[in-house]
Amino acid sequence: MISTQCELNLGIQANYKKFWFTVPGAIVGKGRPRFTTQGKFVRAYTPKKTRDYEQKIAMCYRKTTSYQSDKALRVKIFAYREIPKSTTKKLRGWLLDKTFLCTVKPDIDNIIKVVLDALNNVAYYDDIQVCELVIIREFAENECLKICLEEIGERRPKKEDKIMGLFDLVREEQEAKKKAEESAKKDTKDAVVEEVEKVEEAPKEADQQPAPVAKAEKQAIEEVKQAVEQATEIAEESKKEEKPAGKKVPKKKASTEKTHKYPFGVYSEGRLIDVSSYGFVDGQDYTEKEITDIMLQHRHYEFAGTMEYSYIEDDNVLVVTGKQHRKG
């Protein structure tokens, strides 16, 4: 029986990974797709036996590791077929020492297909990552698959990877811009703090002036204060001496002028005058002077000076008599 170890050491970097795992039991090759009709449509599907074996391969890999590679890969498959029990002892020895090679089903290409499809989106993102492939089919005491996956290089970046790289560049630029803004704010803050410290130190420097200068300034300030106090005292005394003359507010005389509420009629010039179009407002009180002014505007009382009104309640009529007469 041959060794099942993979010696893969051609240009392999230290950070590249390598995994071995075994799939026990009978080997099942990739079956041909089956077809079924649904109405006018034809649907293709994978046989159940093939699907079950692919799930078994994926499960065996996940028991070994959960790593999913994004590198270029080398895959080695060792397919060990069990020798039939009816085989004679002599023939069994010839099969094990490879006097006769294994030329039985399943076909090698079907074994490759079932393994690569089973590990798709499990051990790698796509089987296009497989750049090197070795498969060996031999007889053995126990039937199984032994598979070796090894990363051997970098693959060409996808469009999505390029986009993510651009996102990274944009993010780095934004972070650099943010750091620059923070640095500028800090510098501005430091400058403001320095100015404030200078302003706070200015009074201290003033206090440290020579004694004669400081004394003269204090004396001038005291003189100004005294002058202000004297002016304030004089102003207060003058206010006390002055007594404001009280102003007599004339009392309003109560209005005694007689009023009449419209509607009413006006009897003058020997006839009853229709005043409905003269602008009187219903329910409003009018003084005798206001009535006179309105009548004069409509060419009545041409020779009258002061008019007197007598109210006849039964007829709701104002009788007009002239008190004074003047021409024009």
- 64 occurs within a structural domain: yes
- Give yes or no for a contact between 81 and 108, defined as CB atoms under 8 angstroms apart: no
- 203 occurs within a structural domain: no
- 212 occurs within a structural domain: no
Cα 302 to chain centroid distance, Å, stands at: 85
Are residue 150 and residue 277 in the same domain, yes or no?
A: no
Q: What confidence score (pLDDT) does residue 171 get?
A: 81
Q: Are strands 259-261 and 271-273 parallel, antiparallel or unpaired?
A: unpaired
Q: Which residues pair with 309 in a beta bridge?
A: 320
- 3 occurs within a structural domain: no
- 44 occurs within a structural domain: yes
Query: Which residues, at least 6 apart from 268, have a Cβ–Cβ distance to it below 8 Å?
Result: 295, 300, 301, 319, 320
pTM of the model: 0.45
Q: What confidence score (pLDDT) does residue 51 get?
A: 93
- Give yes or no for a contact between 114 and 28, defined as CB atoms under 8 angstroms apart: yes
Domain limit, last residue, from 122, 142, 157? 157
- Give yes or no for a contact between 108 and 187, defined as CB atoms under 8 angstroms apart: no
pLDDT of the chain, 328 residues: tens digit per residue: 444 443 334 445 668 999 999 999 999 999 988 888 877 888 888 899 999 999 999 999 999 999 999 999 999 999 999 998 888 988 989 988 888 888 889 999 999 999 999 999 999 999 999 999 999 999 999 999 999 999 998 877 666 555 666 667 778 888 888 888 888 888 887 777 777 777 667 666 555 555 555 677 677 777 767 777 777 777 777 666 655 554 454 554 455 677 878 888 887 777 778 787 887 888 888 887 888 888 777 777 765 567 777 777 777 777 777 765 554 4
Q: Where are the beta strands (DSSP E) in 154-204?
A: none
Q: What confidence score (pLDDT) does residue 225 get?
A: 74
Query: Which residues, at least 6 apart from 15, have a Cβ–Cβ distance to it below 8 Å?
Result: none
Angle at 223 between CA 219 and CA 228, to 5 degrees: 150
Residue 127 belongs to domain with CATH number: 3.30.1330.70
- Give yes or no for a contact between 118 and 57, defined as CB atoms under 8 angstroms apart: yes
Domain limit, last residue, from 87, 122, 157? 157
Tokens of 312: 């006849």
Q: What confidence score (pLDDT) does residue 8 get?
A: 38
Tokens of 159: 């469009």
- 201 occurs within a structural domain: no
Q: What confidence score (pLDDT) does residue 1 get?
A: 42
User: What gap in Å lies between CA 173 and CA 164, rounded to an integer?
Assistant: 14
Q: What confidence score (pLDDT) does residue 7 get?
A: 39
Are residue 264 and residue 139 in the same domain, yes or no?
A: no
Write the DSSP string, 206-259: HHTS-HHHHHHHHHHHHHHHHHHHHHHHHHHHHHHH--PPPPPPPPPPPP---E
- 205 occurs within a structural domain: no
| Structural domain span for residue 126 | 18-157
Are residue 145 and residue 33 in the same domain, yes or no?
A: yes
Dihedral angle sign, alpha carbons of residues 40, 44, 47, 53: negative
Q: What confidence score (pLDDT) does residue 324 get?
A: 59
Per the structure, the count of domains in the chain is: 2
User: What gap in Å lies between CA 130 and CA 133, rounded to an integer?
Assistant: 7
- Give yes or no for a contact between 42 and 35, defined as CB atoms under 8 angstroms apart: yes
Cα 289 to chain centroid distance, Å, stands at: 76
Q: Are strands 72-82 and 130-140 parallel, antiparallel or unpaired?
A: parallel
- 264 occurs within a structural domain: yes
Domain limit, last residue, from 127, 157, 187? 157
Q: Which residues pair with 320 in a beta bridge?
A: 309
